[in-house]
Structure 1
């Protein structure tokens, strides 16, 4: 877990899945300050809708764009602004690239004078849950149903990668659009495996057999970011999702009774307990930070490490030349899994919003239609080194080994890219899962005790009337 995730191009596990609703890193007090409803809502600029102007942009209306200027910079946003002014040459654009989004914009939301587009990212971002509750965000249905900027025959929503619309949906309304896409899997050095004649396993039985071979070669089969056991949760929960499919994921996220005791979760917990029991996790891993574990892995002390697709960027100054890391999908646990072997856990991040009380809502929506075009997203991928949330945006590009493997994994998964949302919705449950998994993979809890412990936390949360519940 990078203590300063916004200083480098990839988000960390916490910033990705907690970006939608988490309040811990957002600007406090917003929920007590913003107003709701349509009171004092300014008239928004609007023009006539047409085939070439599907969102009804007023061609000479000014547009204000605020971008979080973090690891990705803001040049990609400026390029999209250039495309906007090419189409609407009478429009002027006020661009602001800033760091503390919440601090800068909270007073403007309170005063009902927000910008037209906001990249709501960074440690000081605005509290999305508070904005949603105060009805401060525009519904994006018109944008989603509009023709895409690249191809009028294809709807905008059909150009997005799986899960992107759902990631920004609150109580059935699409209110947030995430620009980047992160996938999780198991990482290894492709040249190391080639030199040893090892083949990445597709099933867990193959994984266990390969681990025995790797250990015999004097290399630890696995390590992990021990101080942050959530990293090991990703492959464990991915395996469970493959076995139990959508029903299992929904049961977990919806806090259903005994959800954590499902056969798929039990089997996945048993699989990762087996890694520990057979000595296939590098000794001392539990005490390592993410940087220490990943450095050991890059030094060839372990063959596998779990992580998200930001790993390559985090290790660019650590990995030796020719290490050529790649990401593989989590192996299948059973032969009757409901998802295919290529299914992966993935989610979108880098949240863009169009405030409902903006002066130029139509222009804000049009800007997003342009920003999320292949032309714009391709440019972003080339400079930022991460996947945009737009299907096919990196096709034909020469990518690094890690990013290329991520793209290939996302393409192979197709519609079987999935994600859990309990981390986003319920931070206490996320911590309970992390703590329990730490005990499991260090042989201090059995799989049954792991499930009991998490289920107890989930049940307590379900009964707590003070906690807002979400469903999917």
Structure 2
């Protein structure tokens, strides 16, 4: 899920943000995650062709490919109207079978386990698959050749040389790249700039200012802050951990990713949990616990909710329900304490939205070739035009007219300067721990939860995982 958007974009700032994360894997012992079947030894005959300058991945030009796309905030038109036609123009004898779903795990996981995998999969949404387990089961294609291949439409450059630094590392497991995180997403508190201008409200820089503003918003009959507990609790996990990262630097989040003992009970996490718990008690509509993301987002479009924690895909996701007077804008999460180590302007932004080629399908090389098409400048430019989202392809949004939300995101990134940080990866690496964080944050925010209990609960889950030899561990530096 991802999106952003309007007018003049400082490309120099927007697409040089990411630094390589440096991911490596700790040797794993034992069994694979229970949700992914190892299966019998694969005997599927896979399509291959002859490598050449025109065919750097050595695909079979006549072999069909199958892709499955998540139908969420980004929509699917970029696949049907852009990527597939570009692929078909290049390889006219290769038929592309396409399908879309909002339930990736339900649709795709059984096929992976049965050895009947699609060739390229967009793993996203509330029902995304446990990708760490997919990698451990050998079901994801190593993308090293993709990144080393010639760019689809930028002469003289490899695919890797056309991307934001760190792209391959973001999707690396065991020191090898398996996932393409395609969309560059800005996270923060989204609001209607028109509503704020009308009421003379200014997005807060400090927590005291945030509380004061929430009181004013509440007095105006509007819910100050809200998210959907039914399927979007991860928005709130990111908000809380972004605050923790601003309090204690991104090292706090790296320690969480690395399952370091005491990471979840770090004072920075506890302080952030305490601050957000108070927001939950005073300013969050408790009925939102049972609502889905689009239901709360619709209420925001109706000016019934002021601040909504989300990524920059929000604007595109709500395009059909957004009134002409509603102007999306994003604000950084305010400083929790006067001694936060990162400034109030610091932002969380990173590549996200996983796409991968299946190693067990009939045409993994075709799956990689489809990804090479997606990483072309032409496809990435049209992706931004259609979805109001940036990609990891450098310069691909040059000349694209951007919407209010993306312009606001760009402005926020400009103000953040060097203080743009990636965030965390534990929920992608370890789905079970990610699921636990969703339940824990809902208890904290909707059920009057205690911050210390939240931290203790997550610490216990993290250390239980750390001691589980059946789960392959990843590390981040």
Could you say whether these structures have the same fold, taking a TM-score greater than 0.5 normalized by the shorter chain as the test?
yes
- 1:419 paired to 2:439: no
Please name the residue that 1:197 is paired with. 200
Structure number with greater CO (CA < 8 Å, separation at least 6) is 2
State whether residues 154 and 377 of structure 2, in contact with CA within 8 Å, keep that contact through their aligned partners in structure 1.
no
TM normalised by structure 1 equals 0.76
Partner of 1:441: 445
Partner of residue 121 from structure 2, selected from 119, 123, 133: 119
Shift of 1:235: 1.0
Deviations 1:303-331 (A, max 9, x none): 21222334334433444331122222222
Check 1:78–1:261 CA distance in 2 against 1; reply closer, same or farther (3 A cut): same
Q: How does 1:40-439 map to 2 (within 5 A)?
A: 44-48=48-52, 53=54, 55=56, 57=58, 61-68=61-68, 71=71, 72-73=75-76, 76=79, 79-80=82-83, 83=86, 92-99=93-100, 117-121=119-123, 132-152=135-155, 154-161=157-164, 164-227=167-230, 229-276=233-280, 279-282=282-285, 284-286=287-289, 288-334=291-337, 335-338=339-342, 341-353=345-357, 355=359, 361=365, 365-406=368-409, 409=412, 416-439=420-443
Q: Distance in 1 between matches of 2:142 and 2:133?
A: 15
In structure 2, do the counterparts of structure 1 residues 87 and 282 end up closer, same or farther at CA, with 3 Å as the change threshold? Answer: closer
1:23 is matched with: none
CA distance in structure 1 between the aligned counterparts of 2:288 and 2:44, rounded to whole angstroms: 56
The size of the alignment, in residue pairs, is 436
Asked if 1:33 corresponds to 2:34, the answer is no
Identify the range of structure 1 (184-193 vs 97-106) with the bigger mean alpha-carbon deviation.
97-106
TM superposition shift of 1:127: 7.2
What is the rounded CA distance, in whole Å, between the counterparts of 1:385 and 1:133 in structure 2? 34
Greater shift after overlay, 287-296 or 191-200? 287-296
> Do the aligned partners of residues 219 and 390 (structure 1) sit closer, same or farther apart at CA in structure 2, a change above 3 Å counting?
same
Map Cα deviations across residues 25-62 of structure 1 (whole Å, 9 max, x no partner). Answer: xxx986243525xx7876832234x5xx583647x843
Of 458, 463, 476 in structure 2, the residue corresponding to residue 459 of structure 1 is: 463
Q: Is this contact kept in 2: 1:31–1:127, CA < 8 A?
A: no
Q: Which moved more, 1:337-346 or 1:301-310?
A: 337-346
Q: 1:348 to 1:33 in 2, by over 3 A?
A: same
Structure 1 runs not aligned, ≥5 long: 11-27
Contact 2:112 2:360 in 1 (8 A): no
Give the TM-score normalised by structure 2: 0.75
Task: Report the Cα offset of residue 259 of structure 1.
Answer: 0.5
C-alpha spacing 1:293/1:80, structure 2 compared with 1 (3 Å): closer
Alpha carbons 2:150, 2:157 under 8 Å: kept: yes
CA distance in 2, matches of 1:207, 1:30: 44
Partner of 2:475: 471
Q: What is the CA–CA distance in structure 2 between the aligned matches of 1:349 and 1:80, rounded to whole Å?
A: 16
Provide structure 2 residue ranges, at least 5 long, that are not aligned to the other structure. 4-33
- Shift of the 414–83 alpha-carbon distance from structure 1 to 2, 3 Å rule, reads farther
Query: CA contact under 8 A between 1:226 and 1:293: conserved in structure 2?
Result: no
1:64–1:169 Cα change, 3 Å: farther
Q: How far 1:174 moved relative to its partner? A: 0.7
Q: 1:143 to 1:296 in 2, by over 3 A?
A: closer
Q: Is the 8 A contact 2:57 2:145 kept in 1?
A: no
- The change in CA–CA distance for 1:339 and 1:468 in structure 2 (over 3 A counts) is farther
| C-alpha distance in structure 1 between counterparts of 2:473 and 2:186, whole Å | 26
SS where residue 64 of structure 2 aligns?
A: strand
CA displacement 1:238-297 (0-9 Å, x = unmatched): 1112233332112111211110111221221122133246x3334654454434433333
CA separation of 1:340 and 1:305: change in aligned 2, threshold 3 A: closer
Larger deviation, residues 244-253 vs 212-221: 212-221
Q: Is the 8 A contact 1:191 1:323 kept in 2?
A: yes
Change (3 A) 1:126 1:323: closer
1:387-411 deviation per Cα after TM superposition (whole angstroms, max 9, x unaligned): 4343333332223333444455567
**Corresponding residue SS for 2:319:** coil
Whether the aligned pair in 2 keeps the contact of 1:45 and 1:360 (CA below 8 Å) is no
